[in-house]
Structure formats: structure tokens, C-alpha cells
Chain A
Amino acid sequence: MTTRLSFQTLAPPIATLFVFVVVVGVSMAVLAFRFTELQRQIAATTNATRSLIEISSLRAMTKESLLRYRLSGSDQAPEELERIENSRLFESNRLKDYVLKVESNGAILEPFFSGATETLQIRARIRKAIQHRDFATADRLSANYATLYQINTARLKDLHAFLQSRLNSSEKNLTQLLQMITILVLVMVLLGGFIAWWMARFYRDRVLEPLTALHRGLRSVSEGKLGQQVERTRAPLEIREMMHDFNQMTDRLKQAKKESTEAREQALIAARIKSDFLSNMSHEIRTPLNVIVGVSDELSRRDLDPQVKREVMTLHKSGQMLMNIVGDILDFSRLESGNVQLSQENFDLHDMLKRVNDVLVPLAKAKSLSLTLSIQPEVPREISGDLQRLERALINLVGNAIKFTQAGYVNVTCRLAGGLVEFQVSDSGAGIPQDKMADLFSRFVQADSSITRKFGGTGLGLAIVKQIAVLMNGDIDVVSVPGVGSTFTLRIPLPPRASSGPSLAPTPAPPTDFEHSLEGLRILSVDDSPDNQFLIRTYLTTTGAHLSEAKNGREAIEAATSGVFDIILMDIQMPEVDGHQATRTIRRFEKERDRGRSLIIALTAFALTREIELSRESGFDIHLTKPILKPKLIQTIRDLIAMRKTSSGTSGFASYT
């Protein structure tokens, strides 16, 4: 980029100004010279005229002096004549000088001086004759002299006329010169105005307009029109270079945007693929897990040989752990993608905390740790928020503390601080080195890779907590002293419970007795997996419910349209007709025939948000994610039946994972 103004830019104004200055300067110099010359001529002519007048006077004095001399014969006359002659000579020389200034060749003077010598000689002879008292000669010479005197008088007159003519001419020229100067000044003013106008036009067309175009281009770019191009007009080199660079810049921006868009599209595709993968994996993993966890849970409830029972319990525990890992991965995926909408439901915070505590007490006891829960009195009981996610965050935090504490305690404290509900989890664990603190809430990060080997886990627990805290407009921090312990503080804004909002959050107390709990209910179980059908059948065997089964959506539609069912447990992914289509068909049938509405429960391994939303749209009453343990299933069915009885026969939509 050129940093100095180029010759091309500066040349027109400089050349114009130079020409203007030269024209003005030369014109004024010529006029000034001419003015001075005229003044000099006028002065010389005036002086010459004065000399002529003086000479005329001296001539008259000569004539008078000669006459006096002739009459008186005084001796004084020659001296007087001498003085007058000298004065005439002096004045004649001055006249010659002045006239030569007016007319350099002096031709005009020739007649005037031509008879000077002869007249001088005559005067001398006249004086001599008078001096010798030869008055006759003096009179004769005087008569001759009178003739010549007349001629010279005429010459003086002509010279005077010539000088007067020159004077008039010079004055006329001076007047014309002054007029010319006035006109020139006017012309210069007009020319200067024109030059100013031209330069303004030049800079408007060549500089300002290109710069304005550049500015418009920059504004367009700032408004997001990255491909904006500027037309390269007749601008100076610097501005053309700027335009060229600008166009190159916008070309590159356009290319970068294109690449960015492509990358984003690819990223979205990858995210969708990842999401689909996670969904599929979730489904594929959860389906057998559902059976493993469900069957092992059912077995563990039976009266078995202690050794066998311990083995079944181990199997059940491993299944639960595996289910937690899958849950972590799915949760994190959902949170990270931002594809999560918080629910607003009223719940009992104290109950929730106690429930979390109850869930984790066995883990703490297994490690001989003291797990205490302290709820400060000012903490409200009834609040509004996303119960499931808050519960998940607390379980993660406390579970983590138990996991990494070998001995001592884990204390959970809940209090109000600055309008926020503050959950503080302190432990007497190994603590976290300072250099690991920064990445503590990053995904897949644990303080030490040996931890993973030692304690297992996905490394997503704290990352999930962090995501939930941010999602709920809260925050989390940690204070840790290696070798002493750590304290995690989670602060969440939890408003008090809304007075008019219904509480949809079930707070099921784990049922302890399932016998005849679903007495008389007509239940249709739809699943293409014989194992799952077996599990459902096992769960419901002793509940008193009348269970029918269908292997796919088509059979489910046939059964639902030919018979009446209170509950339909519908799998989603099935051959021939899937759960969504079957549900939509059943809902349409019910509407057409004006039949009572069956309660249809989506019972599926699909756990992503969009799948839950899809279930709602298809007409499901609730979306339960596998694996489902017997207590939860039975409690859900009972809650749905109870809600139907208390409402008008329709229910809201809920999902439980």
C-alpha cells in the first residue's frame, strides 16, 4: 500500500495551481512593468514639457535682454546674456534627456537642435556689434535673428505638441492599463473560482465518491454482506489500491463464510449422526439392560439361596452401574447440545434432599463413611424448578464425594445465600491438586488418570453438574486442600412454589407391596422383544392385572380396536408398524368411534429429548425410558389411573427416565 500521496493524485491540483500562479504572476509582472513604463514616460514627458516652457521663457529673456542691451548699451548685458545662454544650454540638455526617455531614437529633436548653432552665432554677433556700437549691423542681425527665431519658435511649438500628444497617449494607455488590470483581476477571480470549482469536482469524483463507495462497502460488510464488492472507478492510485484490497478482503471473507457454513453444516450433520448414534446406542444398550436389571431385581426379591441371592444382587448392581454410565453419557450429550428445556414443576426440596441422601447412604455405609444431611431452617420446602435435573446434579456431587473419599465423612448442607439455594457437599477425601482445578468441570476430566483406573467412572459427572448449574442460571465452585478434603458449592435460583400450578412431579414412595396393586386393570403389553415381554409379564404377574400381549404395532392396533384396555405399554421401535404409528392409529380410532381413551405408556429405550417430544405428538400419555424397574412401572400406572379418576379423563404428558 502506498503511504504517500501519489503524483497522479497531486499532479492535477498542483499543475492547476502552478499554471494559475504563473499566469497571475506573469500577467501582474507584465502589467506592473507596463505601468511603471507608462509612469516613467508620463514623468519624462511632463519634465520635458516643463523644460520646453523654461526654454521658451529663457528665449524671451534673451530677446528682451538683447533689446535692452541695444537700447542702453550697458556693460552689464553681456554677462546677463551669458547667464541666460548657459541656462538655455543646461535646459536644452535636460530637454534632450527627457525626450530621449520618451522616444529613444531622438529623431523628433533633430529639427529643434538643427538651427541652434547658427542662432547662437547670430546672437554672439549681435552682442559684438552692440558692444562696438555698430548698431546698424546689430539691427540687421536682429532682423535676421527674428526670422530664425520665428522658425525655432515653431519648432518649439511642434515639440510641445508632440510631447503633449505623447502625454495624452500615455495617460490614455494608463487608463486602458488600469481597465485591463481591473478586467484581469475579475478574470483571475473567475478563473480562481473556476479552479476551485474544478478542484472540488475533481476531489468529489476522484476521491470522495470512491471513499464513499468504500464506506458503503465497509458498512455492508459490517451488516453481514461479506461478498460486497466495490467498483473500481477513476480514483487515485491509493484509493484504487484500497478498493482492490477491500475487494480481495471481501472475497476472502465470502470464501471463509462459505467454508464456515460448510463446516457448520458438516458439524450439524456430525452432531445429528452423533445424536442418532447415541440414540441407537442408548436403545440398543438399554433394551438388554432393561431385562438384566429388571429380571435381577425381580429375582433378588425372591427367597433364594444366600449364595445365589448374592450373585443375583451383584448382577443387579452391575446392571445399575452400567445403566448409570449410559445415563451420564446421554445426559451430557443432551446438555452439551443445548437441546434441553428445563421443566418447571413444584416439588418438596426437603423430600428431594432426603431421597438423595437415602439413595446414597448405602454407598457411604459400604465404605464406612459418615454421610450427613443438614437443611437449614430458612430453606423453603415447597419450591419450583426442574426436579429431575437438580436431583441428578446432587446425586452426582454427593456420589462423587463418596466415591473419592476413602475414610471420614461426606456432609451435605443446604442453606439460603443471597437469594439462592446453596448446596454444599464437603468431604474428607484426597483433595484436588491446584493445577487440576481449572479443568475440573471439563468433560472427561478427572484429577488424575489413575483415578479412572482406581475409581472408574466416565469423568462426566462434574461436567454434567456444571452444565445443569449454568442451565439453571446458577454456578458451582470448589475449594479443595490436598490431603484434607474438598468442598463443592452449588448455587441455584429456586423460586418458591407457584401457588396455582399443579404438581405433576410424582414423588413416588417406592412401593413395598405389589400384590393386587393393579387389580382388574386391562393391560396390553406391546413389544417385539420376547425378553421384554417376559420382563413385563414377570412384573405384572402378581398385580392382579389382566395382561394381553402384542408383538408389534399392527397386532397392537388390532387388539386395541377389537378390545378395550385401560393401559397400553407400547414399545417404540418395532417391525412392521412402530409404536408412534400404532398410537396415532389407536388415537384416531378412539376419536372416530368416540371411545374412551386408553392410557398409552411409551416404554422405550429411546431417551433423547426429541424422542420424548415425538411421543407427546403421537398421543402417548407418558414416556418411560428403559430400564424400568417394577416399582416404578407399577407406581406410574397407579398414578396415571389415579389422575384419570381425578381429572376429566385426559391427562397431561410426562416423561420419566
Chain B
Amino acid sequence: MSKQAKLLIVGFAFVGVVLAMNLELATPTDIRLCTPRPASSALPAIALERGFFASQGLRVHLSTEDLGMRCIERLNAGEVDLAVAYVPPVIASIRRGQKLQILTEVHSSNRNAAIVYRPPRIRGPRDLMGKRVALIKGTNSEALFRMYLLAHDIPDAKVNTLFKKPSEVASALQNGEVDAGVLWEPELSQTLKSGNFAALESSFYTEFSMLVKRPQGTPALEAAIEPFIRSLAKAQNLIDRDPERARLITAQVLHLDLAYLTPEVWARFRFRMGLSAVLESMLEQVQTLFDRGEGLPVIEPANFFEPRFLNIIHPEVVTYK
């Protein structure tokens, strides 16, 4: 064997050892993530399934809850590092003093929920007065309904609201316990499919889900936020390029029934990251709508936005200022 060949082999061996050491040293960062189960959590679900997190050196442990409110509770309890939640629980948590940082929107929709009623007793908004309406307290369900009343100049006191658990609203409607109720997908489509109910759509309310974290996390977590958001951006690109494939992946990861996560339902979701003026406005208005004299402070939502990471990746979507 020639001298040059020996040198070449030694060189390759050295490079191999260095690479192996680097791989050994590059231990992935573990991130605990909690998301609501609905399709609104598609971005982290796709990023996980497609290995976008892994390619960024992250090992994400995903857990799902029926309500975003529960994810916020787990975040505040320190059970997870990051949480995906909707506007009402986030603003409520902040007003109650929990320090949260809103990193980015991960979804928005104007048509994911509606007020379902049984005709003919109810035909329009004004007919809601004096009726029993089932809501889920402190959620998009309540926020949507209260904004609907506001838009149609119906005082809250004129409506008999009944707070139910998420799984109870549909059944309360079915068995006549309530005259109307706010449902979101997939219960919305399931209920309307029976033909006995109709819906009052309030597209005025925009629901948002957003990625939040507690401030001053560990240095490893802080360092992992940017690659985490990059992974979500990749998932967003996949949805734009191939929405049908994204739908299937989402259903698979979040254990959703494809019979109800139809392409039509899927089209109602907008998976856009950003820190928008509408999100800020929604946080403000929901704060007002939910202010029932509990003595909670009025906060400025923009103060809880953390645009630092998004500005690095997609500065153009930071529009709230």
C-alpha cells in the first residue's frame, strides 16, 4: 500500500472519529409540549411526524388535552415546557397573574364554531333571548357567544346560559336540555348532519390558538425555541404545498376521525404563524367580554407577546405593533 493511501485512510479515520464525537455531543434537547386535541394543533403534529423537530436537534414529547385551558394549567404547573392554547384561557391565565409569553399564532379560524339551535323556536339572533344556551366556560365557546350577543345588541342577562363540559353540550342539545349551544368541530358537523338542528354563524369572532411558554425558562429551552419555531415553519410550508397530505398526517398524530376532519372542515383552518394585530385585538376584546366584575386587572396583551424568535425567522408576520 502506498504512503499516500495510508495517509488517506488515517485522514478519513480522524474525520470519522471527530464526526462521531460531535454526534455524541449533539444530544437532542427534550421539549415537553401540550396541545389541544382538535385539528388546530396541526403544525406541531406535522412537525413531529415529519421529523422537523428531530432535524433541528429537538426531541419533542407531545401530549394532548381536550381543552387548551388544561394545557395552560399544565404549563403553569411546570408539567410541560410549551403549550398550545386558545385566546380565552391564555388571557384569563395572564390576568390571574401567571406570567406567560405568547410566541406565535399556530392557527386561526372564523368558521370552526357556531351556535346550534333547534328550530322552530329559534329563527334568528333575537330569538335567543329567554332561551337556554349551553356553553363551555372560559373557552372559545363562551367568547364566541358573548361577541355574537354584543354584535346583535342582546344583553347577556336576557339569555339563560348553562355551562357544560365539552362532551355534554351536544348531548344537552340532543335531549332538549338546552335550546341552543355553541359547538365546534367535529361535534358541530355531527350535530348538524342529523338535520334537526340549524346554526347561527358568527364569523365575526376569530379563534386563535397560540404557542406559549413561561418566561425565563432553562437556557436549553430558550435555545430550543428558535429551532422549534423553525420546525413549525417547515410544517406550515408542507400544509401550503400539500394540504391533503397534511390533513392525513394531522388526523394520524392527533387521533382524529377522518370522517369528520373532511377536506371541507380542514379548509376552515388557517395555519399561519405570526403575532398579528387581530390576535392582539381579540385578546383585548375577550378580556373585556369576560370581565364580569371579578376584579381581575386589565392587561395590555401586546406586553405578553415575545416576538424575538419570530423576528429572526419571519419578521414580516409580526404585525401587531
* Residues of A near any B CB (own CB < 8 A): 107, 110-111, 114-115, 118-119, 121-122, 125, 137, 140-141, 144, 147-148, 150-151, 153-155, 157-158, 161-162, 165, 168-169
Contact = CB atoms under 8 A, between A and B. Distances in A.
A147 B288 contact: yes
Interface of B: 108, 110, 150-153, 202-204, 206, 270, 276-278, 280-282, 284-285, 288, 316-317, 319
Given A111-B206, A114-B204, A150 B281 contact: yes
Contacts of A119: 151, 204
Contacts of B206: 111, 114, 151
Given A110-B203, A148-B204, A161-B319, 9 more contacts: A114-B203, A115-B151, A115-B203, A115-B204, A118-B151, A119-B204, A121-B152, A151-B204, A154-B276
Contact of B278 (A137, A148, A158, A168): A158
Contacts of A110: 110, 203, 270
A150 B319 contact: no
A188 to B, nearest CB: 33
A119 B152 CA distance: 9
B277 A114 contact: no
A161 B275 CA distance: 11
B281 A114 contact: no
Contacts of A153: 277, 281
Given A114-B110, A114-B203, A144-B151, A151 B316 contact: no
12 contacts: A111-B108, A111-B110, A115-B203, A115-B204, A118-B152, A118-B202, A119-B204, A147-B285, A148-B150, A151-B285, A154-B280, A165-B316
A125 B204 contact: no
Given A115-B203, A151-B204, A165-B316, A125 B285 contact: no
A603 B203 CA distance: 152
* 6 nearest A-B residue pairs (beta carbon): A154-B281, A161-B319, A115-B204, A114-B203, A154-B277, A157-B277
Given A118-B202, A154-B278, A158-B276, A147 B150 contact: yes
A115 B206 CA distance: 9
Contacts of A157: 277-278, 319
Contacts of A137: 153
A224 to B, nearest CB: 61
B289 to A, nearest CB: 8
A148 B277 CA distance: 14
Contacts of A115: 151, 203-204
Nearest to A155: B278
Contacts of A162: 319
Contact of A150 (B110, B276, B284, B316): B284
A335 to B, nearest CB: 89
A271 to B, nearest CB: 80
Contacts of B153: 122, 125, 137, 140-141, 144
Contacts of B285: 147, 150-151
A146 B319 CA distance: 21
Nearest to A160: B319
A56 to B, nearest CB: 13
Contacts of B288: 147
Given A111-B108, A115-B203, A151 B281 contact: yes
A463 B149 CA distance: 147
A153 B270 CA distance: 20
B107 to A, nearest CB: 13
A70 to B, nearest CB: 16
A472 B261 CA distance: 128
A125 B151 CA distance: 11
A115 B205 CA distance: 8
A162 B108 CA distance: 15
Contacts of A148: 150-151, 204
Contacts of A121: 151-152
B284 to A, nearest CB: 7
A261 to B, nearest CB: 66
Nearest to B151: A118
Contacts of B281: 150-151, 153-155
Contacts of B277: 153-155, 157-158, 161
A429 to B, nearest CB: 112
A99 to B, nearest CB: 15
Contacts of B319: 157-158, 161-162
Contacts of A125: 153
Contacts of A144: 150-151, 153
Contacts of B204: 114-115, 118-119, 148, 151
A144 B316 CA distance: 32
A64 to B, nearest CB: 21
Nearest to B270: A107
A632 B45 CA distance: 146
A157 B321 CA distance: 9
A122 B280 contact: no
Nearest to A115: B204
Contacts of B316: 161, 165, 168-169
A151 B278 CA distance: 6
A283 B282 CA distance: 148
Contacts of B110: 110-111, 114
A122 B153 CA distance: 8
Contacts of A154: 276-278, 280-282
Contacts of B202: 118
A158 B208 CA distance: 14
A578 B206 CA distance: 146
Contacts of B203: 110, 114-115
Nearest to B279: A154
B253 to A, nearest CB: 23
A153 B319 CA distance: 13
A168 B280 CA distance: 24
Given A125-B153, A141-B153, A157-B319, A151 B108 contact: no
B143 to A, nearest CB: 12
B281 to A, nearest CB: 3
A49 to B, nearest CB: 14
A240 to B, nearest CB: 48
A155 B276 CA distance: 9
Contacts of A107: 270
